[in-house]
Structure 1
Amino acid sequence: MKRYIVGGWVRDTLLKEEGFDIAPQDKDWVVVGASPEEMVKRGFIPVGADFPVFIDPKNGEELALARTERKSGKGYHGFVFHADPSVTLEEDLLRRDLTINAMAFDEDGSLIDCYGGKEDLKNRVLRHISDAFAEDPVRLLRVARFSARLSEFSIAPETMTLLQTIVSSGESDNLVQERVTQEFLRALEESKPSRFFEVLRETGYLERAFPAWKLSPSVLAKVDEVKSKDPRLKRFVASLEEVPVQDLNKILKALRLPKEYSELAVLAKTYEKKVPKVSSSSSEKLLFLKKTDSLRRPERFKQLLDCYETDLSKDERDYWEQLADAVRQLDLKEIVAKVKDKKDVPKMVDEARCLLIEKFSK
């Protein structure tokens, strides 16, 4: 029985040596020459549902038996896996997507590179390993995301041809929606998310799956410019700048993003270029604060203002945030107590808020 570190940890270790600011994450191990029964006897804990995967109880690391795979149906799950002690490391690495993801370290730290991954890494190329690459539509999304992470890398022409085949053959139509959403959100965290969209456009997938999504070079540049601790939400809203309001729901429905993304996207599109000026009337300002639910949801209101970074100056954004805080803190108990007819409460509250807004703005 032999075991090898494979995949992302190997790739990122070599990238770090090349000067990339990347920290290798969790190690994935492949075990050659062992059966599931032998792994259990050695004390490893079985956890894999589709193929033999085990947890090392000493350190929590994941080990998978070397396996091959064969296409048996449509989509990501349409594969039959074969794992037994006779499967070699080379056979296991052959089933992976890109050459830079098909390298391994043995337990002594020696590199095993059967398919030219180190050379492609040196030349900054994303290249598939075999034509079986086109059998798994998830690889379309993964390559697009790797392009966003490793923006200095180009996609080999023959690999791009296979990506386009995944789309033109209809194989991409079998993508599970949850996986599309997952890869999309991960891509928005990468250093240059515009590359994700550009690759999906070049393959034909963007037009096929999201025909309403208009992404000009200027919009993509704005997406890349968003920098924050968690830029995904703001980058998503930025990507929608040229999407007509009437087409927005088509994209939201197709992506099935978390509720906070959908809500902010709708708000941002609704009030795009329509935020009242600081000089506007107090009633206009109050209506904006109420319509955006700023008084109940201050954090989302701040996110909305941040989405208008190119339209509103920092002083204007600060003004609106401070104004909303002031209106939110207004003590309404005394006002309500003086109202004889409860039907007049909303009107009296609005009048008090408008008066505060007027004083605040002076």
Structure 2
Amino acid sequence: MRIYLVGGAVRDKLLERPAGDRDHVVTGASPDDLLALGYRPVGKDFPVFLHPESGEEYALARTERKSGRGYHGFEFRTDPAVTLEEDLARRDLTINAIAEDADGTLIDPWGGVRDLEARLLRHVAPAFVEDPVRLLRVARFAARFAPLGFRVADETMALLRHMVDAGEVDHLVPERVWAETRKALAEPRPSAFLQVLRACGALRVLFPEVDALYGVPQRAEFHPEIDTGVHMEMVLDAAAAIAPGDDLVGFCALGHDLGKALTPADELPRHVMHEQRGVAPLRVLAARLKVPAEHAALAELVCREHLNAHRALELKPATVLKLLVALDALRRPERLETFLAACLADKRGRLGHGHDDYPEADYLRRARATAAAVTAAPFLAQGLEGPAVGAAMERARVHAITEMKQGSI
């Protein structure tokens, strides 16, 4: 029995990146061998075990054979005769197909070290096309490693296009699409995720509402980048910088301008009412991907209200309170922070505006704190009951925000 460190742990060590999960491959062993050593089985489709002390994953070396459509259509073979090289051959990218033995020696049959140095995302073998999830994984790795200069190898991009043309991506279930999308939105450069999907044709299949934004013009005085799709990419990257690793902010950014694809041609490049028009396609997208309820709800609020955030200093105090209530920000201030992060990303996701100030955010935070300080107690003490208490509190909150705005408190 031999044990090797594999995959992302080896890749990230070579890239001098922080260590993540440590996965291992075991050759020359059976499930009974690992059980006898105290390893705990966790794999359902193939033998994966947890180390009795470290809790790290140890998988028996295996091979895969395509037996149907989509990512479920595989048969696995795992026995002591399966070699490390055979196991590495089933992996997606060469940079993920590097192993390290106990002495620190690298086993790299597919040139992963070379591709790390060349900053290339390259598939291991032609069998790559058999699993459509790999297309999404390549796009996600592009979002992770684009800041380091990585790009998709030409021959791998050709395979991605082939997978789209062959209809393999049509067999992806929503849960897998969302799982990879969610991770991509939390990466340092989510725009690369969209760019790879668009380059291979998968964006129009999986995210038609987003794909429709490309080529739609905006007013140059507000959007020097002009193209709405390019703006979307810039907003996603701004969101990743403002709220690193926060896929909720990322999804809000992704859905904020979908209505611009629905602007009548004779109104372009103006986009009057795009925030209202965007709600319907956003709901379709969220339902199709089966995104979490909070993601769908907050993304819709950002879509509908982001222009109000941008002009918060001009809004009447009653309108500011209405916005805060819509966000449920008086009870849940974290919702306001997510909303403001996405709106700031929209403000900065424009050519030449990457470092713009956003005083509207601080104003809305102060308005929230001011309104939340108004409680029901004094009105109950006055003998008010039921709806009368709520109405009195609303009047008091509007008055408090007015005074705050005027600088009297």
TM-score, shorter chain, exceeding 0.5: yes
Q: What SS does the corresponding residue of 1:23 show, helix, strand or coil?
A: coil
Contact 2:115–2:122 (8 Å) recurs in 1? yes
Which digits, 9 at most, give the CA deviation of each residue in 1:299-336, with x for residues without a partner?
21232223222559533221221112111111333324
Identity value in percent: 43
Paired residues for 1:121-200 under 5 Å: 121-151=116-146, 152-200=149-197
Mapped partners of 2:10, 2:321: distance in 1: 56
The alignment status of 1:235 with 2:279, answered yes or no, reads no
- In 1: Cα distance, 2:255 partner to 2:154 partner: 30
Aligned length in residues? 357
Tell me which residue corresponds to 2:359: 315
Within 5 Å, give how 1:283-294 maps onto structure 2: 283-294=318-329
Q: Where does residue 85 of structure 1 map in the other structure?
A: 80
Q: Do 2:178 and 2:289's aligned partners in 1 also have CA atoms closer than 8 Å?
A: yes
Q: What secondary structure sits across from 1:34 in the alignment?
A: coil
More displaced, 333-342 or 187-196? 333-342
Cα distance, 1:225–1:38 mapped onto 2, change above 3 Å: same
Show CA shifts across 1:187-243 (max 9, x none). Answer: 122221110111111111110122111361222122112323443222222222430
Q: Take 1:128 and 1:341, find their aligned partners in 2: how far apart are those partners?
A: 68
- Output the CA distance in 2 between the equivalents of 1:32 and 1:339: 78
Larger CA deviation: 56-65 vs 259-268: 56-65
Alpha-carbon spacing, 1:342–1:120, altered in 2? closer, same or farther (3 Å): closer
Cα distance per residue 1:253-281 (max 9 Å; x no partner) = 12222222111111111113134543443
Letter in 2 for 1:252: A
Q: Indicate yes or no: 2:287 matched with 1:253.
A: yes
Aligned 1:1-362 pairs, distance under 5 A: 1-16=1-16, 22-151=17-146, 152-213=149-210, 214=213, 216-226=229-239, 227=241, 228-244=243-259, 245=278, 246-275=280-309, 277-309=312-344, 310-311=346-347, 314-338=358-382, 342=386, 344-362=388-406
Letter in 2 for 1:212: E
CA-based RMSD of the aligned residues comes to 2.1
* SS, match of residue 80 in structure 1: strand
Give 1:88 shift: 1.2
* SS of residue paired to 1:272: helix
Q: Say whether the 8 Å CA contact 2:301–2:327 is kept in structure 1.
A: yes
Deviation per residue, 1:8-57 (Å, 9 max, x gap): 111111122xxxxx123232221111222223233333322211222221
In structure 2, what is the Cα distance between the partners aligned to 1:41 and 1:332?
65
Structure 2 runs not aligned, ≥5 long = 215-228, 260-277, 348-355
The answer to whether the 8 A contact 2:88-2:97 is kept is yes
Q: Distance in 2 between matches of 1:55 and 1:286?
A: 52
Q: Give the gaps of 5 or more residues in structure 1.
A: 17-21
Q: In 2 relative to 1, CA 162–327 (structure 1 residues): closer, same or farther, beyond 3 Å? A: same
Structure 1 residues 288, 37: closer, same or farther in 2, change over 3 A?
Answer: closer
In 1, Cα distance between equivalents of 2:390 and 2:31 = 69
Contact 1:5 1:105 in 2 (8 A): yes
Distance (Å, rounded) in 2 between the aligned partners of 1:88 and 1:281: 70
* Structure 1 counterpart of 2:272: none
